[in-house]
Structure 1
Amino acid sequence: MNKRPLVWFAVFWMIGSTIGAEFNSMGIVMAAGGMALVLVALVLLKQATPRLAAVCLLGCALAAGERLWADARNVTALAGLDVPDASYEVEVSGTIVSAVEVDGDRAAFRVTADTVCVQGKQPLKLRERLLVQVRLAEQPHQEIAAAWHRGDKVRFAGELSLPAGASNSGGFDYRRYLSSQHIHWLVKVTGIGAVHAAPGPGWTAAAVLGRVDAARDWLGARFDSLYPADQSGYMKGLVLGIREDLDPDQFQQFSRLGLTHILAISGLHVAVFIYALGAVLRLFRMTRERMLITLMLAVPLYVLLSGSSPSVVRAGLMTMLGLLAARMDKLKDGLHLLAAAAVGMLMWNPYFIQDVSFQLSFAVTAGLILFVPSVRHAMPHWPKGKALLDLLVVTIVAQAVSFPLTIYYFNQFHLLSIPANLILVPFISFIIMPIGAVALFLGLLWPLGGQLLAAVSVYANDWTFLLVEKLGAVDIVHSIWATPPLWWIAAWYFILAVICRLLPATPSAVHKEDTDETIPLQEAAAGQDTAPIWELQEEQQRPIWQSRFAFITAAGLAGIALLLYAYFPDVLNRTADVDVLDVGQGDSIYIRTPQGKRILVDGGGTLSFRKPGEEWKERSDPFEVGGKVVVPLLMKRGVHAIDLLVISHLDSDHIRGLKAVLDAIPVRSILWNGSIKRAEDAEGLLSEAVRKGIPLYRAELGQQWKMDKETAITVLWPPPASNKTIPIVEEQNDDSVVLHMQIYESTFLLSGDISSEAESAILSRLDQADAEGTSSQSLKQQQQLDKSIDVLKVGHHGSRFSTSEEWLSFWRPLQAAISVGATNTYGHPHPDVLNRLKAAAVDAFRTDQDGEIRYKVNRTGIYEQIIKQK
């Protein structure tokens, strides 16, 4: 620690910032005490001086205090209105402080309000940052909205509401995300007629940034003229950091292989920019001192022009600090620059500590600086292949460092990510990106020359996309990981550091170091004093290579144990989960049995009401509940494969999200109602299942599925088919698959979208079986269907024509779960249904009010968890 005090100060500053962000007051006190004990131990082990330990502890406390102070100030000025699910009519005047994004029938921007009038009351003079979404009624209105700029003065009227919180366990918390950007309210405006914009003062910060936005848009438009439609968005992201026009499917393919960092402007892009600009300046015979100053002044312009994301801000700060140190002839190692950049960014905005881009950028950069030399020295000296070995080491180290954060946030890892990065990162970074940048600026002076140069990269991009698609399609090496705990991430980095610290250098590397550099005796002695205590003890008993091998082996085994724990986190968990997911107006139920079998009943579905001629309203990345909600939730829960997918029926609000599930997660078998519906999504889903070779089973009354020894599923509906043909059924509700599920001694009834008529038919079948004494009666006795059930999944989202008194009287449920959308226009759940549940003394939970409804089941019984934020 004593050799790099700034680095350790930065480490404890980041720890303090994390403590302030994640813990309450008691947790902060306990965490601070733990940090103090760690520093005391380091002092006693002579790894840190008392002064350095005190400074680090002070930095940790200051960072935590800064975060608490920031949280205390990060509150809404509209006190008394922050009531969940409430909305208010408001009139607002203020200044646009972000670029205006026009996507389909919506324009979105951020406003710093100076006057807010709530529901016709006296206007309030205040400063409040708002997110504004304007619904566009006609296609020409897109051009009008696109003419609004950052820095414009704006007045508008709309509906004020709180952003949505996380309504599923582990789901995206939009409210928290906006709060980290000091936004606490969302305003929805209907029509551009409710918005009045005019140019604001010309030299405010917002107006200056508005000119930067205009320059970015203008440069982006040049890419539209140089590249075909399927490549222009990709090149904008690669060169300018404009990712709004990147095709979502294309981005998903890059994400699957862990290649999205290529599309994020980062240190590599800044390095290429500095190298290219430096080469140009050298052509003008500029002195070294002037060139360093010129480059230092050029970096902020590039940071602004490329979007100012945390990764490019980090790279820009490091570059400026490095250039400044070089100008003063005091250039230190890159770790000091990284530490200074980290502390500077967190001092400016402590909320950066929770930004994924910030975390990945600093972690990977620090890992490359710390671990690459050790790993490289442990590899053989190969003069002819030095560049290839260097690239291989950088790729492997970057993957190892980013791995825990990747599975924590994205829950997937593709083994072919390593060769994909090895091949594509240098190819794209050193060939495609420079060609695109040169083609852009050459096209400004000589359009034909720019087009000819761009044409070279067009063919290269086609091969890049093809390679990414083919590699990503190899599902056998694509793995899904549950979100690991934070202690696991810390343990992974500790083991990685131990292994890299103890790696022995190859004889050729040692010989090269001995001949290239001489270490003073004082430094050698200092190095012996600071060696780890375990190495000193081992050296007295055995050769150093043996002690290194023993520790590396132990660390490697610990790393394997960590991987197994992360991939199978619930292998010993015998508590079952039944989760009614909040997917809006639709159904999706995830079940994990006590033995770890995975069942998914329906996948929700986002309904579209587009009319012919309204294609312009389609957004570039429309919300789709399967890809945005269901798949991420399943991945976060470590669902490697779905053992049984139940398609209750083929209505869109139950199946449209399943396409994304089939694309992302292996499905081993499908149980469906045995019919076909003439609809694009229904036919497409069944065709995709057949194409993938997934066995399809028709559900029939009396079928039993024994998932494991504690879990049994009985099909109560639909009735057996009269022939072997698959019927076409347009009205699917009363053909829904109805399941009776028993886990340990707890029972669930999943009733799809059946109406009271189907309910009566099911009960008649059960009564008939009882009277005739058929095999169905034996089945009924085995499953104890005449006993009360614990949980009823209310049919058809609480429709008035379902969940009859007869149905409730027969099953006598203790609880009811209603899957329903908060903004549905059907009136679900109907008051009559709620009254019938209340009269039957059934406790009812609703996804629109309670969020995801989670049931934990073990041998002692069942208990529920309500997720939604209030």
Structure 2
Amino acid sequence: MLNRRPLIWFALCYVCGSAAAAGLSSRGVMLAAGAAALLALAAVLCRQASWQLAAACALAVGLAAGERMWADARNVTALPALLAAAEADGPRAAYAAEAAGTIVSAVEVDGDRVMFHMAAERVHVAGEAAPRGVRERFMVHVRLAEQPEQTVAAAWQRGDAVSVAGELTRPATATNSGGFDYRRYLSSQSIHWLLKVQGTAAVSQAAGPRWTAAALLGRVDAARAWLGARMDRLYPSDQSGYMKGLVLGIREDLDPGQFQQFSRLGLTHILAISGLHVAVFLYALAGLLRLVRMTRERILLVLMLSVPLYVLLSGASPSVIRAGLMAVLGLLAARMGKLKDGLHLLAAAAVAMLAINPFFLENVSFQLSFIVTLGLIIGVPPVRAAMPQWRRGKALLDLAAVTIVAQIVSFPVTIYYFNQFHALSLLANFVLVPFISFVVMPLGGAALIIAIPWESGGKLLAYASHHANDWTFALVDQLSQVDALRTIWATPPLWWVAAWLIWLGISFYVFGLWTSERNAQLRAASDALEETAPLGTAPMAANPFGHAGTARHPSSRTGRTLLFAIVIFALLLAYAYKPDLFNRNGTVSVIDVGQGDSIHVRTPGGKHILIDGGGTLSFRKPGEEWKERSDPFEIGRKLIVPLLMKRGVREIDLLVISHLDSDHIRGLQAVMESIPVRRIWWNGTVKKAEDARKLLALAVELKIPMYAVHAGQKYKLDPATDLTVLWPLDSSSASVSLLNEQNESSVVLHMKIYGETFLFAGDIDTATEQAIIQNEQRRANEEESPAAVSVLKIAHHGSRFSTGGEWLAYWRPLAAAASVGAMNSYGHPHPDVLSRLKEAGTGVWRTDKDGEVHFIATEEGLLFRRND
């Protein structure tokens, strides 16, 4: 009956109520609450729960939903008039403003950028009569102009009073389907505005009150920074960032490439302070306290008081807060002699965290921490019971059970957020997690503690872990490079994640029954053999895998249920791996990459074409290396690769490089390193630019076949997709030529899906457009030539000297798409181009206003869809 675990059911209902309010409308929340009340009534009528428990569960749903709705209602800006103006003015909206308040987050200095959260108490927007007293939180971005300003900014800390002058803008939304929504992310922290500042001279800083929460946390930040600096002196540069993340939870200095390798193998949880780290900390501290002969009661009290300090020093992420809460509650219950199982501690921690901050529910760290911990508590006992009960290898079998269960439980959440799973992840976690947790991390922590009074001694102890780290990095590097065992998964729907986790819980229960029946039958058979064995004959040892006869199998009903569970898991896996198996539509997606080009095509046969990869231009001068950030925004790694993986792109059948300009190719290096590419089409030239040289060299290194295409070439990618190259002309030269001005040699591609046609024009201008028209007219006399298109990709982002009247008259496009940056300084798309398109009766979609644009070709016709 449910009455045996009332706190667990209360917590479950509380989480469900909070989730319903977060994801549903007000009407949906009311329907969900009604459904919960009916379920509670049914549980009472079926005598599965007492009326007190049913009422408590219904109350939990109502309380959680009400709290989240109340939090959402209060989570609005205190500048509603300015918000309305910003929504009307669009993404370029920016307003000169001054704000005075307090720094309420750690100050991050990274290259030429400084970031911190500010709680403003007074805001003055240009044009207003007088400053307004408001309570508003800002994300402040300070752009540094000179290197000495880094020292000035490094002196700022949480709790300081500041006055800031800059521009207020709205955070960016997700302009691509499935892309990162920065506005929503900041909104979960009650931040609705960015305050962009130029130089430290625009920031006036003074010490704030000493005993505020922000000031106290500022001292914690200073302690973390001081400890991090100590760690820098103990370890070489290629290890210090890793050790700071491992011991202190400081991940800002972790090498991005190293983090990506750990991520591929599902090892990033090692670098996030969580329950394992808290457990190791408490075990080590308890051991030290026992050495000084402290009583059990005092040890428990010291441990309880030390946990909050450790949580603060390790960064107070949701995962460590959860672990800390469970540890404190468990220690308190142990001291009172009322310690129950871990499920009760987990339930209490979940309710406490959501009651304090309902927005925790949307945090990935919170979700993974609770889901994996719940899975381990429920799943490890039945899985371990099914394993051999060896005495000598007990520790290894225990570790295997924990690793297997953790992998199975975390799998749906992992592919939902990160879209990849490596088959060697199980091996990597089995080998590296205990080694790092019980060898490297304690050594690093002990070295740091010893180095505080005696740095030489700390360095001596740290040296013991240098080689361990080298071995770890080498193993991770080797395993992560086995790309044949790395799989990419499209983001599954939420119902699939819920179905996997619910069915996994049911399966653990059934597996537990099956294991119990099997072990009982083995014991009965063993007892029977001992009772009937002839005198002088040794009894037969129990076989952990079953005896002959009927004792080998548990009840047929339980076995059939277990088999049914396996079939359900296989079906769920098949659906998640091939969600679009029966999708016979072709999709052309013009991705918003700012001022650049990147177009993804999925054909009706499930093939994938990528045309260009965008790129962030750099105007950095020699001597400005100090401006380089530890993890700079790179369009391929941060935007294109995650988008393609979310859509389940496991390989790119054709990569088209229209030309070698930076705004078309800089994102492609990350694409080629992350997703297999089968073939490349390009214009057959090279360019002196470093990014072009690196890209072509990488293609050669990866042994990707490269084809220099020219006008007239045709290719049938699948039965419904035909490609025709319209430009450049055949040079009739076997050698690759050097060409620094690439625009007029762009690959111009015509594509036909079913009856719909698409034209991708690169960066050509009107002169090249006329040359293509003449060439196509000559071809029309000899063979069938494309004469009209459904969708035209506007050339050169809508430059004034492209997309001429003759071009539009020849192709007569039904729709056109312009890939332009919202903040571009070129004035693209030019008003003359827009005017010509309007005169031609062509509908225009723009990535700067519409975000990513999707054109869906079906057997019935063409559909247009903006980013949702």
Q: Which TM-score tier does this pair reach, normalised by the shorter chain?
A: over 0.9
Q: Distance in 1 between matches of 2:697 and 2:27?
A: 56
Q: 1:749 to 1:558 in 2, by over 3 A?
A: same
The residue number in structure 2 matching 1:804 is 804
What's the secondary structure of 1:622's corresponding residue? coil
1:663 aligns with 2:664: no
Confirm or deny: 8 A CA contact 2:403 2:426 kept in the other structure.
yes
Shift of 1:34: 3.4
Over the aligned positions, Cα root-mean-square deviation in angstroms equals: 1.5
Shift of 1:545: 2.2
Runs of 4+, deviation exceeding 4 Å: 506-514
Q: 1:543 to 1:396 in 2, by over 3 A?
A: closer
Shift of 1:850: 1.0
Q: Distance in 2 between matches of 1:204 and 1:647?
A: 56
The residue number in structure 2 matching 1:77 is 78
The residue number in structure 2 matching 1:557 is 567
The residue number in structure 1 matching 2:271 is 263
Which residue among 248, 251, 264 is the counterpart of 1:243? 251
Confirm or deny: 8 A CA contact 2:586 2:856 kept in the other structure.
yes
Confirm or deny: 8 A CA contact 1:754 1:796 kept in the other structure.
yes
Residues 334-733 of structure 1: matches in 2 within 5 Å? Answer: 334-503=342-511, 504-505=514-515, 510=520, 545-733=555-743
Shift of 1:494: 2.2
Residue type at the aligned position of 2:362: Q
CA offset digits 1:430-461 (Å, max 9, x no partner): 00000000000111122111111111111110
Confirm or deny: 8 A CA contact 1:380 1:508 kept in the other structure.
no
Q: Distance in 2 between matches of 1:240 and 1:748?
A: 53
Q: In terms of mean alpha carbon deviation, does 499-508 or 587-596 score higher?
A: 499-508
Shift of 1:41: 4.3
What's the secondary structure of 1:620's corresponding residue? coil
What's the secondary structure of 1:721's corresponding residue? coil
Confirm or deny: 8 A CA contact 2:657 2:680 kept in the other structure.
yes
What's the secondary structure of 2:71's corresponding residue? helix
Confirm or deny: 8 A CA contact 1:381 1:508 kept in the other structure.
no
The residue number in structure 2 matching 1:535 is none
Shift of 1:43: 4.0
Q: Distance in 1 between matches of 2:559 and 2:568?
A: 14
Q: Distance in 2 between matches of 1:198 and 1:652?
A: 44
Shift of 1:31: 2.5
Confirm or deny: 8 A CA contact 1:381 1:509 kept in the other structure.
no
Confirm or deny: 8 A CA contact 2:521 2:554 kept in the other structure.
no
1:290 aligns with 2:298: yes
Residue type at the aligned position of 2:67: E
The residue number in structure 1 matching 2:744 is 734
Shift of 1:334: 0.7
Residues 154-165 of structure 1: matches in 2 within 5 Å? Answer: 154-165=162-173
Q: Distance in 2 between matches of 1:320 and 1:352?
A: 20
Q: Distance in 2 between matches of 1:91 and 1:224?
A: 38
Q: Distance in 1 between matches of 2:33 and 2:658?
A: 52
Q: Distance in 2 between matches of 1:107 and 1:204?
A: 23
The residue number in structure 2 matching 1:89 is 96
CA offset digits 1:118-144 (Å, max 9, x no partner): 015210101100000101011111011
Residue type at the aligned position of 2:399: L
Q: Distance in 1 between matches of 2:712 and 2:760?
A: 15
1:98 aligns with 2:108: no
CA offset digits 1:728-751 (Å, max 9, x no partner): 111111111111111111111110
Q: Distance in 2 between matches of 1:493 and 1:769?
A: 59
CA offset digits 1:647-670 (Å, max 9, x no partner): 111111111100110111111111
CA offset digits 1:813-859 (Å, max 9, x no partner): 11110001111122211111111111212111111111101112211
1:119 aligns with 2:126: yes
Confirm or deny: 8 A CA contact 1:750 1:792 kept in the other structure.
yes
Shift of 1:769: 2.2
The residue number in structure 1 matching 2:33 is 32
Residues 141-180 of structure 1: matches in 2 within 5 Å? Answer: 141-180=149-188
Q: Distance in 1 between matches of 2:824 and 2:464?
A: 51
The residue number in structure 2 matching 1:521 is none
Q: Distance in 2 between matches of 1:10 and 1:544?
A: 35
What is the aligned residue count? 831
CA offset digits 1:98-153 (Å, max 9, x no partner): 11100000111110000000015210101100000101011111011000010000
Q: Distance in 2 between matches of 1:307 and 1:511?
A: 51
What's the secondary structure of 1:80's corresponding residue? helix
Confirm or deny: 8 A CA contact 1:424 1:464 kept in the other structure.
yes
Confirm or deny: 8 A CA contact 2:517 2:555 kept in the other structure.
no
CA offset digits 1:265-305 (Å, max 9, x no partner): 10111111111111122222222112211111111111111
- In structure 2, stretches of 5+ residues that fail to align are 525-551
Q: Distance in 2 between matches of 1:189 and 1:73?
A: 27
Residue type at the aligned position of 2:816: A
What's the secondary structure of 1:99's corresponding residue? coil
Shift of 1:510: 4.9
Residues 739-818 of structure 1: matches in 2 within 5 Å? Answer: 739-770=749-780, 773-774=781-782, 777-778=783-784, 780=785, 785-786=786-787, 788-818=788-818
Q: Distance in 2 between matches of 1:493 and 1:622?
A: 36
Q: Distance in 2 between matches of 1:499 and 1:803?
A: 61
CA offset digits 1:600-654 (Å, max 9, x no partner): 1111111111110001100000000101110000011011111111111111111
Confirm or deny: 8 A CA contact 2:361 2:367 kept in the other structure.
yes
Shift of 1:505: 2.3
Residue type at the aligned position of 2:825: T
Q: Distance in 2 between matches of 1:513 and 1:849?
A: 71
The residue number in structure 1 matching 2:325 is 317
Q: In terms of mean alpha carbon deviation, does 498-507 or 90-99 score higher?
A: 498-507
What's the secondary structure of 2:239's corresponding residue? helix
The residue number in structure 2 matching 1:272 is 280
Confirm or deny: 8 A CA contact 2:326 2:345 kept in the other structure.
yes
What's the secondary structure of 2:844's corresponding residue? strand
Q: Distance in 2 between matches of 1:7 and 1:292?
A: 25
What's the secondary structure of 1:109's corresponding residue? strand
CA offset digits 1:514-563 (Å, max 9, x no partner): 9xxxxxxxxxxxxxxxxxxxxxxxxxxx9952111101111101101100
The residue number in structure 2 matching 1:525 is none
Q: Distance in 2 between matches of 1:51 and 1:444?
A: 55
Shift of 1:54: 2.4
Q: In terms of mean alpha carbon deviation, does 338-347 or 482-491 score higher?
A: 482-491
Confirm or deny: 8 A CA contact 2:170 2:194 kept in the other structure.
yes
Residue type at the aligned position of 2:33: A
**% identity of equivalent residues:** 62
Shift of 1:209: 0.4
Residue type at the aligned position of 2:59: L
What's the secondary structure of 2:515's corresponding residue? coil
Confirm or deny: 8 A CA contact 1:267 1:315 kept in the other structure.
yes
Q: In terms of mean alpha carbon deviation, does 405-414 or 674-683 score higher?
A: 674-683
Shift of 1:506: 6.7
The residue number in structure 2 matching 1:534 is none
- In structure 1, stretches of 5+ residues that fail to align are 515-541
Shift of 1:45: 4.5
1:835 aligns with 2:842: no
Q: 1:290 to 1:416 in 2, by over 3 A?
A: same
Confirm or deny: 8 A CA contact 1:379 1:506 kept in the other structure.
no
Shift of 1:509: 5.6
Q: Distance in 2 between matches of 1:543 and 1:189?
A: 72
